[in-house]
Chains A and B, each alone.
Chain A
Amino acid sequence: MSEITPEVVAQHGLTDDEYKLVLDIMGREPNLTELGIFSVMWSEHCSYKSSKKWLKTLPTEAPWVICGPGENAGIVDIGEGLAAVFKMESHNHPSFIEPYQGAATGVGGILRDVFTMGARPVANLNALRFGSPDNAKTRHLVAGVVAGIGGYGNCVGVPTIGGETNFHASYNGNILVNAMTVGIAPADKIFYSAAAGIGNPVVYAGSKTGRDGIHGATMASAEFDEKSEEKRPTVQVGDPFTEKLLIEACLELMATDAIVAIQDMGAAGLTSSSFEMASKGGLGVELELDRVPMREEGMTPYELMLSESQERMLMVLKPGKEELAQAIFHKWELDFAVIGHLTETGRMVLKWHGETVGDLPIDPLAQASPEYDRPHEIKRETRGVRANETPEVPWKEALTQLVGCPDLASRRWIWEQYDHMVMGDTVVRPGGDAGVVRIHGTNRGLAATTDCTPRYVQADPVEGGKQAVAEAWRNLTAVGARPLAITDNMNFGNPEKPEIMGQFVGACQGMAEACKALDFPVVSGNVSLYNETAGQPIMPTPAIGAVGLIDDLDRMATVPFKASDEIIVVLGETLGERGSGWIANSLYLRELLGREEGAPPPVDLAHERKVGDFVRGLIGAGSVTACHDVSDGGLMIALAEMAMASGIGFDITCDPGPRHAYLFGEDQGRYIVTVKENDVPAVTGAAEKAGVPVRVLGYTNGDAIVVNGEAGPTVSELRAINERWLPELMSAEVVEPGGVPAE
């Protein structure tokens, strides 16, 4: 009787139609190993079957782009013979099941994507979303994820220089852990994954293969249910020490001319890496699976092909270079084995002690995976919220409540657990608009940020998608960097639901508009769908990771005020609805009035670009002493953040009218800068000439915060509130859902 029953097919996550396609391609019934290979290659995670139609619509080109999507990571030219290599990737499902290892291996995986291409990783970032702070699981997940990210990144010795964290009930059952790595490589020595040279040896290096993570990619392609906890064995275990050795060994080997092609073994392990290399090279491959270094006895070909053990690399070497490569890997005490060779057959042949245990055609499997045009419905909220019809909470109260709210409270508790200074080049530490690392041995810098405002995307996927890209661009601009390109990490619910698919399609549309208008192409990315538990989807979260270049580190800007009695200027338009400030869908509305409603603030991309280019020019000319973009919480929060970062207060005046909307409205495309008094006429004059709305708000001042002559909290009081929230949350007594303190 056949071992491939309908039940077995279903367990492998293949639909009836997909299985028919399998039979067509094979011309016979597959064996279990072959079925397993189809299953992972055609999983949503590996095949992008629901998303690729829309991903293709994103702009991916610019003169400085060396390599766009499709390789392990995206690559941009950063001058002086160097290239920045970067990507962001999700590890959402594993992190919910086992937060420490899930997050740790997320960092490990993204690091490998970057150094596989010949780059030394120089910075890590992350974008995290957790459930409601009072959800019983949240603190356990925060503690585990943060420790896991730190545990891996700190040991590997790559600084974690930035990130973002949100809390919202929609993530109660599906947290998001998106990790980003930026690396630097010689622009003329980049390594790709396309195999070449019939007969060339295929070698395996790194850790041994164990039984961990089998079917991880398939798990990441299905909704969660109550039984998801049982999937714990599908989560991989990370070994950052081995990763560190692997980085050094690979970079050492890459300095020779031994490598033809290289690919890390990530999701779907040996299957995905070998298929991709052979498919891109238009070749076949024969693997002798019994030669794969194994962690335990009795492993089967099925397990070897599907294991997601970490810290492993697959390479095609030039003939005769095996010994040289082996010596390097052995020096670093890593496993090394020649496990096969390239063939001209276009087929993957798997041998087990000389016997053929699998024989599949490569191209149809790797390239002819299903592509769906799923039904979608884009829902866009257009209703605004009128400022003069919303209650005005006294500004002092609103300010103190907002700086201590979950989405705005200090993240120090998180980033002090990450080594953000190792490698000795961190110029802007976490907590600013963008992290900045010096390009080693130069006076230039790379700026990097991660951004998304999920509540905007939820209300209007198109505007929200646009805003996520624009905010990343703005954060790079605010430090004085020239924005180069982005990586996108598309986190959404179940794409089989038209409304969710509509969120995805709408976000892509908005992102594409923004990328085009800002010359800010997408060079790499990752899609994570099915982020739902028991039918409850997450808020749509297209997290944007972005990289920019600073030509001269002596000409950049940071968030803190620098001295008292400097003039505070806001650049960009505060339009709102009827000129008062955009209060709909703001944090003010949500945190103070308990209303999550209304259209998000629109992004006028032409205005965005004009204002941003002007601000960057000011920073480059040395005309401003501090700069911060205006985002969540509006003008008042941006000012408060500049004050708390410096210990220096401010005194501002605003027009009569709905003051809460002016102070806390979230109109886009705005920056606050400080200018020395003598330079004010020059700055405002230049702004007017450039058509950039400019307004002098007030001046920096002692440690008081004053609005229209009325004094509020001192900077130190505000800072205490801002710093208190997260440590208190994390150290509070654990209360079980029943209300009884745990032992």
Chain B
Amino acid sequence: MKAAVIVFPGSNCDRDVAVALERVAGTKPLMLWHRETEVPSDLDLIVVPGGFSYGDYLRSGAMAAHSPVMAGVKAAADKGVRVLGICNGFQILTESHLLPGALMRNRDLKFICKDVHLTVESADSDFTRGYADGQVVRYPVAHHDGNFFADDETLAAIEDAGQVAFRYCQPDGTVDADANINGSRNNIAGLFNRDRTVLGLMPHPERLIDQHLGGTDGVPMFKSLLEALS
């Protein structure tokens, strides 16, 4: 698997996800600076990491979506290169229209950092094959703008196409209002594109990859990718 991690000014989970990729794949990913106008043609996976790209001083992810490197990422995604956007990366993917919808300020207006439970809505993707359909996983979140919004029509299309990857849930898997930490529509925490070659999610799988950090629920995602793309 040849992977690259995009680095924007203000990215701050770029190292974390590179560590996770290296741990699972055994090789360091390429770190791609935001000014690159082209991305290498032999990539299997591009990760758009978490952080505060360009300070998120406009809408979160809005400026990064217009950075030079994102044109290359979009072109690669069109060719079927897998793209994973985590947290700020998810925001950038929606701002880039690689994924539908938008991420608004959390319902309670505060930054939230804690572990949350998620249902894996579909294990039928290169990102989630290591999990089972309906499995409950625990990932940390750390965001201010994770409240997923799409209008009724878009939301229906997302659901009909089976694009929901993860939903916020109770520890026992119940998807309800109490488990919805940030006000996301339909408890959506992560989303595929129609071809399931692009995944964006607010929680951070790269933060739970060894027991010292409190768990390993994030590992299967990186293993799934490694197995699918090697």
Contact = CB atoms under 8 A, between A and B. Distances in A.
B16 A417 contact: no
Given A241-B57, A332-B9, A424 B111 contact: no
A473 interface: no
Contacts of A253: none
A438 B212 contact: yes
Interface in A111-149: 147
Interface string A397-420: 000000000000000000111111
A156 interface: yes
Nearest to B13: A422
A157 interface: yes
A416 B110 CA distance: 9
A501 interface: no
B16 A419 contact: no
A729 to B, nearest CB: 15
A460 interface: no
A423 to B, nearest CB: 7
Contact of A424 (B10, B16, B52): B16
Contacts of B214: 429
Given A416-B113, A419-B113, A424-B207, A155 B142 contact: no
Contact of B111 (A154, A156, A157, A423): A154
Contact of B12 (A244, A418, A438): A244
A239 interface: yes
A241 B13 contact: no
A239 B140 contact: no
Interface string A326-354: 00000011000000000000000000000
A421 B52 contact: no
Contacts of A423: 12, 15-16
Contacts of B113: 154, 415-421
A241 B9 contact: yes
Nearest to B208: A421
Nearest to A424: B16
Interface string B135-164: 000001010100000000000000000000
A540 interface: no
Contacts of A417: 110-113
B51 interface: yes
B207 A421 contact: yes
A712 B50 CA distance: 45
B52 A240 contact: yes
A422 B55 contact: no
A426 interface: yes
Contacts of B142: 154, 419, 421-422
B212 A416 contact: no
Interface size range on A against B: 20 to 34
B212 A424 contact: no
B110 A241 contact: no
B101 to A, nearest CB: 23
Interface string B191-205: 000000000000010
Contacts of B51: 157
Q: At the interface, is chain B mostly helix, strand, loop or mixed?
A: mixed
A265 interface: no
B12 A240 contact: no
Contact of B10 (A150, A244, A422): A244
A553 B110 CA distance: 33
Nearest to A423: B16
A333 B33 CA distance: 13
A245 interface: yes
Interface string B19-62: 11000000000000000000000000000001110111100000
Contacts of B20: 424
Contacts, number: 82
A427 interface: yes
A553 B212 contact: yes
Interface residues of B, number: 30
A245 B110 contact: no
Given A332-B9, A553-B212, A150 B111 contact: yes
A459 to B, nearest CB: 37
Q: Which residue among A156, A419, A426 has the maximum number of chain B CB atoms within 10 Å of its CB? A: A419
Contact of B55 (A240, A416, A438): A240
A155 B52 contact: yes
A239 B55 CA distance: 8
Contacts of B79: none
Nearest to A242: B55
A242 B54 CA distance: 9
A241 B55 contact: yes
Given A155-B10, A241-B52, A333-B9, A422 B110 contact: no
B206 interface: yes
B213 to A, nearest CB: 7
Contacts of B13: 157, 422, 424
Given A422-B13, A427-B212, A416 B114 contact: yes
B19 A424 contact: yes
B8 to A, nearest CB: 10
Interface string A145-172: 0010011001111000000000000000
A424 B12 contact: no
A151 B52 CA distance: 11
Contacts of A424: 13, 15-16, 19-20, 206-207, 209, 213
Interface in B63-114: 110-114
B55 A426 contact: no
Contacts of A156: 12
B15 A427 contact: no
Given A155-B10, A245-B9, A421 B140 contact: yes
Contacts of B57: 241
A157 B213 contact: no
A426 B57 CA distance: 27
A425 B19 CA distance: 11
A417 B108 CA distance: 11
A645 B114 CA distance: 15
Contacts of A420: 113
A157 B50 CA distance: 10
A332 B11 CA distance: 12
28 contacts: A154-B144, A155-B52, A155-B56, A157-B13, A240-B55, A241-B9, A244-B10, A245-B10, A333-B9, A416-B112, A416-B113, A417-B111, A418-B113, A419-B113, A419-B142, A421-B142, A421-B207, A423-B12, A423-B15, A423-B16, A424-B16, A424-B19, A424-B206, A424-B209, A424-B213, A425-B213, A426-B213, A553-B212
Interface of A: 147, 150-151, 154-157, 239-242, 244-245, 332-333, 415-427, 429, 438, 553
Given A418-B113, A419-B113, 14 more contacts: A147-B110, A150-B111, A154-B111, A157-B13, A240-B52, A244-B9, A244-B10, A245-B9, A415-B113, A416-B113, A419-B111, A421-B204, A422-B50, A424-B206
List the 6 closest pairs (A to B, CB-CB), nearest first.
Answer: A157-B12, A241-B55, A424-B16, A419-B142, A155-B52, A417-B111
